[in-house]
Amino acid sequence: MATRVLLLSDTHLPKRAKMLPEVLWADIEAADLVVHAGDWVDADLLDQLEDRSRRLVACYGNNDGAALRSRLPLVARAVVEEVRLAVVHETGPALKREVRMDMEFPDTDLLVFGHSHIPWDSRTPAGMRLLNPGSPTDRRRQPFCTYMRLEIDGKTITPDLRRLPPRETGRPRA
């Protein structure tokens, strides 16, 4: 049976939203694994995800202070089914990202990253999958706030980008 994975990044709580949307919490609780690619901002969300998810793999981001950095690595790693997973917040500019990531993560099948708030799905020349789930709380220049659900079955990775309606982001309405 496939492993259900939920990817999120750049939650920026409580600066960008007071809480995660309920629809996202439902997906978190249904997932076999939750992956967070940094920029939590406040450790309360880390505590909540540890309590409400079956398994959590996460790293810290550039906006995360000492409390989060003391509990999370710069790069998190795990093996999910037959997929070697790495999670990092920043990968640098989009230009030549795939080539750089092949050099930096040679023993990785799936690299999850954040920082840009822009959803991303590509493959490197060596075949590594690169995924950025965007942000569920701060869409920046994107039309929607987003996160991803994945299924991992053996070595097969099937992503599903999820869009959140504006009222579902936890932000106050104007």
93-112: average pLDDT: 97
The pLDDT tens digits for 114-167 are: 999 999 999 999 999 999 999 999 988 899 999 999 999 999 999 999 999 875
Give the pair of three-digit tokens for residue 152: 């991992």
Side chain identity, residue 114: G
β partners of residue 152: 3, 157
Long-range contacts, 115-124 (Cβ 8 Å, 24+): 115/9, 115/10, 115/37, 115/38, 115/39, 115/61, 115/62, 115/89, 115/90, 115/91, 117/10, 117/142, 118/142, 119/146, 119/148, 119/161, 120/94, 121/159, 121/161, 122/97, 122/98, 123/98, 124/98, 124/99
Domain that holds residue 84: 3-164
Look at residue 100 and tell me if it is in a domain. yes
Pick the closest to residue 37 from 136, 168, 156, 172 (CA basis).
136
pLDDT at 167: 57
Look at residue 93 and tell me if it is in a domain. yes
Pick the closest to residue 132 from 54, 35, 46, 57 (CA basis).
35
Domain count of the fold of the chain: 1
pLDDT confidence band for 172 (50 / 70 / 90): very low
- What is the pLDDT of the chain when averaged over all its residues? 94
Res 15 pLDDT > 90: no
Look at residue 174 and tell me if it is in a domain. no
The CATH number for 141's domain is: 3.60.21.10
The pLDDT tens digits for 60-71 are: 999 999 999 999
Look at residue 145 and tell me if it is in a domain. yes
Side chain identity, residue 146: T
The pLDDT tens digits for 44-85 are: 999 999 999 999 999 999 999 999 999 999 999 999 999 999
Q: Is 22 helix (H, G, I), strand (E, B) or coil?
A: helix
Look at residue 170 and tell me if it is in a domain. no
Look at residue 128 and tell me if it is in a domain. yes
106-117: average pLDDT: 97
Look at residue 169 and tell me if it is in a domain. no
Please tell me the pTM assigned to this model: 0.93
pLDDT at 171: 47
pLDDT at 174: 38
Q: Residue 42: exposed, middle, or buried by beta-carbon count in 10 A (0-12, 13-18, 19+)?
A: middle
Look at residue 35 and tell me if it is in a domain. yes
